[in-house]
């Protein structure tokens, strides 16, 4: 029963992280940059980093609390939906701005995975050290 509850919690945390990522990217780009076409790299990369940071903030503490020393693995599991959405963009594309799509797919996948997994690992490690100190 406990495994099922942890899996359900993981799904809820993953959804919350995805929602935080989307809102942070949208508001970051909308509030800080003027509307321009094509979008500059600075806007896209900074929005991807802001979204990944928001997802890490939302998900790191619950992952560290629920999964303890396996929080980094749960962080990787939470990153899988973003990888699944962005990975097809790495394939062959016939669009004229193929390079931009390719680069941004890598930036979003790597930033999301590294920040979410890293934040969960750091908080779990900090919690373990605090418990051992007592």
CA atoms within 13 A on the CB side of 127: 18
* Rounded average pLDDT over 44-58: 95
Is the pLDDT assigned to residue 36 strictly greater than 80?
Answer: no
Distance of alpha carbon 50 from alpha carbon 77, whole angstroms: 20
Task: Decide: 89 and 102 in contact? Cβ < 8 Å.
Answer: yes
Q: Which domain holds residue 61?
A: 2-133
* Rounded average pLDDT over 95-105: 82
CA–CA distances in Å: residue 71 to residues 20, 88, 108, 127: 19, 27, 21, 11
Count of other CB atoms within 10 angstroms of residue 44: 19
The three-class DSSP label of residue 34 is coil
Extract the tokens encoding 45: 């990369």
* Rounded average pLDDT over 34-53: 87
Domain count, the chain: 1
């Amino acid at each position: 029963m406990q495994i099922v509850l942890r899996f359900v919690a993981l799904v809820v945390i993953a959804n919350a992280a995805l929602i935080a990522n989307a809102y942070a990217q949208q508001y970051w780009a909308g509030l800080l940059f003027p509307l321009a076409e094509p979008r500059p790299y600075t806007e896209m990369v900074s929005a991807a980093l802001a979204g990944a940071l928001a997802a890490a903030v939302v998900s790191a503490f619950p992952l560290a609390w629920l999964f303890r020393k396996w929080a980094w693995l749960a962080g990787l599991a939470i990153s899988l939906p973003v990888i699944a959405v962005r990975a097809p963009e790495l394939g062959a594309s016939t669009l004229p701005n193929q390079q931009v799509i390719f680069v941004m797919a890598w930036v979003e996948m790597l930033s999301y995975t590294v920040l979410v997994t890293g934040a969960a690992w750091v908080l779990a490690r900090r919690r373990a050290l605090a418990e051992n100190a007592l």
